[in-house]
Amino acid sequence: MSYIPHTDEQREEMLRTCGVESISELFHDIPAELAPESFNIPEGKSEIEVLSYFEMLAEQNYSHLTNFVGGGFYDHFIPSAVDALVGRSEFYTAYTPYQPEVSQGTLQAIYEYQTDICRLTDMDLANASLYDGGTALYEACQMALRATGRERVILDGGVNPVYRKILTSYTANLDIQFTISPVSHGHSDRDKIFDAIDTDTAAVILQNPSFFGIIEDHSDIVQHCHDNGVLVIQSVYPTAMAMLKTPGEIGVDIAVGEGQSLGIPLAFGGPYLGFMATTKKLARRMPGRVVGRTVDRDGREAFVLTLQAREQHIRREKATSNICTNQGLCALRAHIYLSLLGKQGLLDVAQLCIDKAAYARERLDMIPGVEVMKASPTFNEFTVSLPMDAGEVVGAMVEKGFAPGLPLGRFYPGMENFLLVAVTEKRTKHEIGMLAETLEAVLCQ
């Protein structure tokens, strides 16, 4: 099926209008010697065949395991109305709202989404989305470097280790130095961070809760940074923002994060949503599209893309970022999700996560040989040490229907026996109990 509506007669008539006899003639600018050397693509299939092929592939994935894996990406509940509304093709078959008159739906939704992000983070303004949490962190970094004219960035050890790898990849060809400040007992190490700050430091990057699930109050770090003319970038988990001290409250300059937990399916890693919010002072240095509220010719309220002077289609090589297409539909998802959950709903999700995670901590802590990293408050995720290689334990647990957590050895050499366990509102007391019982049985084997 090629979804082409032309009948033979129409095609003939159109070719005549073009003054040619065949479609191939229209391609005469392609030199004969540049004809494809091969084009080994299988012949087309019907919708029935293609659907059943993908059903077969989908069944090969272990998506049905009882999931305690997080690491910044969580199995949260998505209300049915989210899919129903995002599935309206007026939204998903449109493109970037260059023509505001026929895009007020997208534009107003983005404006409202920007408002949601501002309210979640207590920041002044947010953009219309970036690719994902990791690339948003990189964009924040670039923003801080340009704003300060400095070349060093200090990265707290509690930041997602994959994000850390992204930052170093992107800056390989640039004059930017990264210093990683290892955590101390899971916490941001104030002394190390303060020692690392010098006159060429543009920013300190923090994460709350940390990759290990630990909640931090970074106020003192922000204060110290600002005293030294250093900007603070904080990556935050939006669901936790319902309850935790916000970037805005503690004076963070750029807040970023992964928006997946706001109604976006896990979907094997994407598409996700990078959100970014900042202060009025840094507004014009922020990358990405921004929607503003204005009035039209007749004085009616209207929404348009604004601050475009920063963008690549105007500024070309001098733009603040090369981002053009973003994650518009994912931002819409997040906005619909937050509108449905509302103030109390998001608080309830957060409280359920905390309570269930607390229960899981207690249950796992009772297992001989298992030790929960204590002395630190956690939100919905926590680190446990096991009496043996966590990878092996996970392998055995998978066979019993559980994805019990993320083994940390792959990201932190020396932490081979550690497991990062996440609990969301979807997990039940029964599932948590079974996790504990199964883990105990596996460890006894």
Contacts (Cβ under 8 Å, ≥6 apart) of 169: none
Torsions phi, psi of 241, nearest 5? -65, -20
Q: Is the dihedral of CA 421, 378, 350, 239 positive or negative?
A: negative
SS3 290: strand
Strand ranges (E), 328-424: 371-372, 381-385, 402-403, 406-407, 418-422
Q: Please state the closest distance from residue 193 (CB atom) to another protein, in A.
A: 19
Q: Which is nearer to another protein, 165 or 226 (CB)?
A: 165
Q: Please state the closest distance from residue 55 (CB atom) to another protein, in A.
A: 6
Q: Which is nearer to another protein, 347 or 441 (CB)?
A: 347
Inter-helix orientation angle 328-365/429-444, to 10°: 60
Q: Please state the closest distance from residue 228 (CB atom) to another protein, in A.
A: 24
Q: Which is nearer to another protein, 16 or 226 (CB)?
A: 16
Q: Which is nearer to another protein, 114 or 188 (CB)?
A: 114
Q: Which is nearer to another protein, 157 or 288 (CB)?
A: 288
Q: Please state the closest distance from residue 106 (CB atom) to another protein, in A.
A: 4
Residue appearing with tokens 């055995």: 396
Q: Which is nearer to another protein, 319 or 443 (CB)?
A: 319
Length of the chain: 445
Residue closest to 257 by CA, chosen among 235, 273, 288, 277: 235
Torsion (CA) 345, 347, 353, 358 in degrees, nearest 10: -140
Q: Which is nearer to another protein, 154 or 240 (CB)?
A: 240
Q: Please state the closest distance from residue 282 (CB atom) to another protein, in A.
A: 12
Q: Which is nearer to another protein, 167 or 197 (CB)?
A: 167
Q: Which is nearer to another protein, 113 or 201 (CB)?
A: 113
Q: Please state the closest distance from residue 192 (CB atom) to another protein, in A.
A: 21
Q: Please state the closest distance from residue 158 (CB atom) to another protein, in A.
A: 14
Q: Which is nearer to another protein, 197 or 408 (CB)?
A: 408
Structure tokens at 419: 């497991």
Q: Please state the closest distance from residue 168 (CB atom) to another protein, in A.
A: 6
Full DSSP string of 309-342 = GGSHHHHGGGSS----S--HHHHHHHHHHHHHHH
| H-only helix segments in 171-232 | 190-196, 219-227
Q: d(Cα 210, Cα 206) in Å, to the nearest integer?
A: 8
Q: d(Cα 185, Cα 295) in Å, to the nearest integer?
A: 54
Structure tokens at 245: 């001290």
Q: Please state the closest distance from residue 380 (CB atom) to another protein, in A.
A: 9
Whether residue 209 is preceded by a cis peptide bond, meaning omega within 30 degrees of 0, is: yes
Inter-helix orientation angle 328-365/104-121, to 10°: 30
Whether residue 404 is preceded by a cis peptide bond, meaning omega within 30 degrees of 0, is: no
Q: Please state the closest distance from residue 12 (CB atom) to another protein, in A.
A: 11
SS3 358: helix
